[in-house]
Amino acid sequence: MAKLPVERHPRWVLLVVMLGSLMSAVDVTIVILALPTIGSELRSPLGTIIWVILLYLLVTTLLTTQVGRVGDVFGRARIYNAGFAVFTAASVLCGLAPSDVFLIASRGGQAVGASLMLANGGAIIADHFPPQERGRAFGFTALGWNVGAILGILLGGAITTYLGWRYIFFINAPIGVVAVLLGLKYVHDVERHRTPLDLPGFALFGGALGSFAYAAIDFASYGVRPLNEALLVVGLAFLIPFLLWETRARAPMLDFHLFRERILTYSLGSSFLQGMGYLSVVFLLTMYLQGVRGLSPLDAALLLVPGYVVGGILSPFFGRVSDRLGARLVATMGIALMGAGVLSYASLRIESPLEYVVGISIVTGLGSGMFWPANNAAIMASAPRGSYGAVSGLRSMLTNTGTLLSFVLAITIASASVPRYVAYEVILGTTKLIGGIGAAFLAGIDGALYTAAGILAAAAVLSALRGRVVPREPPLAPARGRP
């Protein structure tokens, strides 16, 4: 381990990490809203254009397993700043895309940059803030995410309508340039560790996850057929050797030794299940509001803004509360509120007042504002010193894996109740359902929401059983500019 003499600038570091969270969130929500227009203009079939979203999720899930370790070796700040530069350049390429294949490839480039940021952002926070202040710091990064989600919702419809979908990517350029300049000036490496990469594990995990994702989307598109059955077998053929390899690898990407620590294990498990149970809920609500209730994409999205506002504003506050009262209480209450909100969404009917959606979104936003900063602080507080990058990358990997599975489960379950071509048209916003078929599709959405609520219940149990978080290290000396 090599410690580097460096003057810390925690406020500027926090601002740069917040900008990374903001840009990542913008590009998740803004693309979902613009997808129908993109597919229409590029004349892309539904089964192809959906990979604009899925490839981004798949690449970030895979790369975050390794690039946290790359940050440990070459410097987290250096890798984080490089991620911002790659993300910004790829965003411009997305806006210039002449075809759907070029756009999907460019989204892969965006995902590479996002992975470099996501896997190292938590470690950078841990480097620059003592344990008793990390909850508040992670609360501000959650604020960045919520602000980004709000901007994605508001700008997605407006920019696509008045300027064209290409500008949803071009807006990343000026923000990215400013963030890179700030990062180069203020975000510096505190220490480095020589940690080898697990390339065989990376390849096996990528083969398994890619096969499972493609099989699920193929099933949602065409039903059971030999191709998706074969892909499931291929996925298992990759998964089993992956698990065996990880028990023998010198520096495994899935380090089972870390899971001997109860608090870290339960906190990571909560993060995974929260991603799997909650991050498709906005997608399901969009299908309900557009496909069943007949709202425009922008009007549907505006109903969800209050929840993001509440979560964003209160995240720093609840981060500070978790610093004082402990992560277990705050995070468990948060995940319970999110689960209760998802169950309430499942009770919506065709004639339900739309004001209910606003009220429920506030409840789930409150829950997310409590869970994220507290749980992330618990993960980093229980991580062994010298493995912040690896643990931060593992957290991102599990969260992204949960997000990808959440998206796939939502499509598969919700589309099972109606003809698949109809479900895909609703997903992409190209048709609206009324009458009996609308009620049938609503039943499919309910099934996906009940599944999500069950997963969130399991996350709440893990969160409650994690134990009291005790930081592993003494506080750092006060630094100039500490908030």
Task: List pLDDT tens digits, range 268-291.
Answer: 999 999 988 987 787 788 778 877
Residues 161 and 220 reside in one and the same domain: no
Task: Judge whether 475 lies within some domain.
Answer: no
Q: Identify which has the larger pLDDT, 146 or 57.
A: 57
| Digit-coded pLDDT (tens) for 379-408 | 877 877 666 666 776 787 788 788 778 877
Query: Has residue 311 got a pLDDT over 50?
Result: yes
Per the CB < 8 A criterion, the answer to whether 146 and 311 are in contact is yes
Q: How many helices (H) and strands (E) does the chain have?
A: 19, 2
Task: Judge whether 18 lies within some domain.
Answer: yes
Query: Has residue 473 got a pLDDT over 50?
Result: no
| Digit-coded pLDDT (tens) for 191-205 | 656 667 778 888 898
Helix (H) or strand (E) holding 372: helix 355-381
If we measure between CA atoms, which residue out of 78, 76, 371 comes closest to residue 195?
76
Task: Judge whether 218 lies within some domain.
Answer: yes
**Lowest-confidence pick of 70-74, 156-160, 469-473:** 469-473
Query: In CATH, what number is assigned to the domain containing residue 293?
Result: 1.20.1250.20
Residues 241 and 291 reside in one and the same domain: no
Number of domains in the chain: 2
Query: Has residue 29 got a pLDDT over 50?
Result: yes
Query: Has residue 414 got a pLDDT over 90?
Result: no
Task: Judge whether 477 lies within some domain.
Answer: no
pLDDT at position 209, please?
Answer: 82
Per the CB < 8 A criterion, the answer to whether 254 and 69 are in contact is no
Output phi, psi for 431, to 5 deg. Answer: -155, 165
| Residue 286 to residue 280: CA distance in whole angstroms | 10
pLDDT band at 220 (very low <50, low <70, confident <90, very high): low
Query: Has residue 361 got a pLDDT over 70?
Result: yes
Per cent of the chain over pLDDT 70 is 84
Residues 142 and 227 reside in one and the same domain: no
Which of 212, 228, 248 finishes a domain?
Answer: 248
pLDDT band at 102 (very low <50, low <70, confident <90, very high): very high
Residues 389 and 299 reside in one and the same domain: yes
Helix (H) or strand (E) holding 185: helix 172-186
CA 71 vs. chain centroid, Å, equals: 20
Residues 184 and 293 reside in one and the same domain: yes
**Lowest-confidence pick of 217-226, 354-363, 370-379:** 217-226
- Biggest distance spanned by C-alpha atoms of the chain: 68
Residues 107 and 157 reside in one and the same domain: yes
Can you read off the two tokens belonging to residue 416?
A: 């099972």
pLDDT at position 362, please?
Answer: 93
Task: Judge whether 473 lies within some domain.
Answer: no
Which of 208, 230, 248 finishes a domain?
Answer: 248
- Can you list the alpha helix ranges (DSSP code H) found in 75-130? 76-95, 100-128
Residues 188 and 243 reside in one and the same domain: no
Task: Judge whether 422 lies within some domain.
Answer: yes
pLDDT at position 228, please?
Answer: 84
pLDDT band at 214 (very low <50, low <70, confident <90, very high): confident
Task: Judge whether 140 lies within some domain.
Answer: yes
Residues 85 and 231 reside in one and the same domain: no
Q: Quote the DSSP letter at residue 75.
A: -
Residues 253 and 238 reside in one and the same domain: no
In a 3-state reduction of DSSP, which class is residue 3?
A: strand
Task: Judge whether 284 lies within some domain.
Answer: yes
pLDDT band at 433 (very low <50, low <70, confident <90, very high): low
pLDDT band at 483 (very low <50, low <70, confident <90, very high): very low
Per the CB < 8 A criterion, the answer to whether 232 and 263 are in contact is no
Residues 192 and 119 reside in one and the same domain: yes
Residues 148 and 7 reside in one and the same domain: yes
Per the CB < 8 A criterion, the answer to whether 373 and 319 are in contact is yes
Which of 248, 280, 312 finishes a domain?
Answer: 248
Q: Identify which has the larger pLDDT, 11 or 430.
A: 11
Amino acid 411 reads: I
pLDDT at position 148, please?
Answer: 78
| Residue 399 to residue 269: CA distance in whole angstroms | 9
Mean pLDDT computed over every residue of the chain: 79
CA dihedral 461, 463, 468, 469 (to 10 degrees): 160
Put residue 386 in one of left, alpha, beta given phi > 0 → left and psi -120 to 50 → alpha: left
Helix axes 435-465, 262-278, angle to 10 degrees: 170
* Domain span including residue 175: 2-198+249-465
Mean of pLDDT values over 234-239: 91
Per the CB < 8 A criterion, the answer to whether 24 and 59 are in contact is no
Per the CB < 8 A criterion, the answer to whether 243 and 270 are in contact is no
Residues 184 and 225 reside in one and the same domain: no
Is the full-model pTM beyond 0.75? no
